[in-house]
A and B are shown apart, each in its own frame.
Chain A
Amino acid sequence: GNSVTQMEGPVTLSEEAFLTINCTYTATGYPSLFWYVQYPGEGLQLLLKATKADDKGSNKGFEATYRKETTSFHLEKGSVQVSDSAVYFCALTIPGASGSARQLTFGSGTQLTVLP
């Protein structure tokens, strides 16, 4: 089946530090890849996505590149802010699949805390 593995947290950084959150996947087809973010007390929001190999998704200073050769989609940001403190989820879907297999499969989430 499909699965997503994220680096375990929590991750604690100082403001303006560089962020990397690792995400690797296994999939039975050609997945689309996503990062969702969950701020305290809220539901998840789509942060960025990539739909084919070598695509780079970007939003709010965050970037992730779809690496088919390493089955990875690592999230990066050059300079984090306190407001980036949240839980980050990597996810995938198989657009060509049917039924529940076509729905999003999430990783376990990585808690990020940014200190001032």
Chain B
Amino acid sequence: NAGVTQTPKFRVLKTGQSMTLLCAQDMNHEYMYWYRQDPGMGLRLIHYSVGEGTTAKGEVPDGYNVSRLKKQNFLLGLESAAPSQTSVYFCASSRGTGGGTNEKLFFGSGTQLSVL
């Protein structure tokens, strides 16, 4: 049972570099999410997707782009990394909306990103 898989697990970037985080889920879930986790601030939603080919902005979308070309994959891109984007990034998926009373989110194990 792979569930939600994130790659890479760790990455160090220099300011201005670009990178893409990959999230893959094998549960045929419609909804996928990208969160960032910062000390003392909990998890904040960056972008989410309600189905293949769709994306939507969350609470903190600036500086990030996403794509959902295939149902099982949700990519998070940083075009020009900044030190403020140093964080732990979590991908999640759910069968329906994560806000629904009968749904729950399944999380990946996270990506630790440092921007120097």
Tell me, in angstroms, the Cα distance from A51 to B33 when the chains sit together.
Answer: 22
Tell me, in angstroms, the Cα distance from A106 to B44 when the chains sit together.
Answer: 7
**With A43-B90, A89-B43, A106-B42 known to touch, is A100 a contact of B108 (CB < 8 Å)?**
no
Query: A-facing mask of B33-61, CB < 8 A → 1, else 0?
Result: 10100001111110010000000111100
**With A44-B90, A89-B42 known to touch, is A104 a contact of B105 (CB < 8 Å)?**
yes
A95: interface (CB < 8 Å): yes
Task: List B contacts of A46 (CB < 8 A).
Answer: 104-105
Task: List B contacts of A34 (CB < 8 A).
Answer: 104
A99: interface (CB < 8 Å): yes
Residue on B nearest A6 in the bound complex, by CB: B42
Q: Which of A41-76 contact B (CB under 8 A)?
A: 41-46, 49, 51
Does B97 lie within 8 Å of A102, measured CB to CB? yes
Interface size of A by CB at 8 A reads 26
Does A104 lie within 8 Å of B99, measured CB to CB? yes
Tell me, in angstroms, the Cα distance from A51 to B90 when the chains sit together.
Answer: 25
**With A43-B110, A103-B58 known to touch, is A93 a contact of B43 (CB < 8 Å)?**
no
A97: interface (CB < 8 Å): yes
Residue on A nearest B37 in the bound complex, by CB: A109
- Residues of B with Cβ closer than 8 Å to A? 4, 33, 35, 40-45, 48, 56-59, 90, 92, 97-101, 104-110
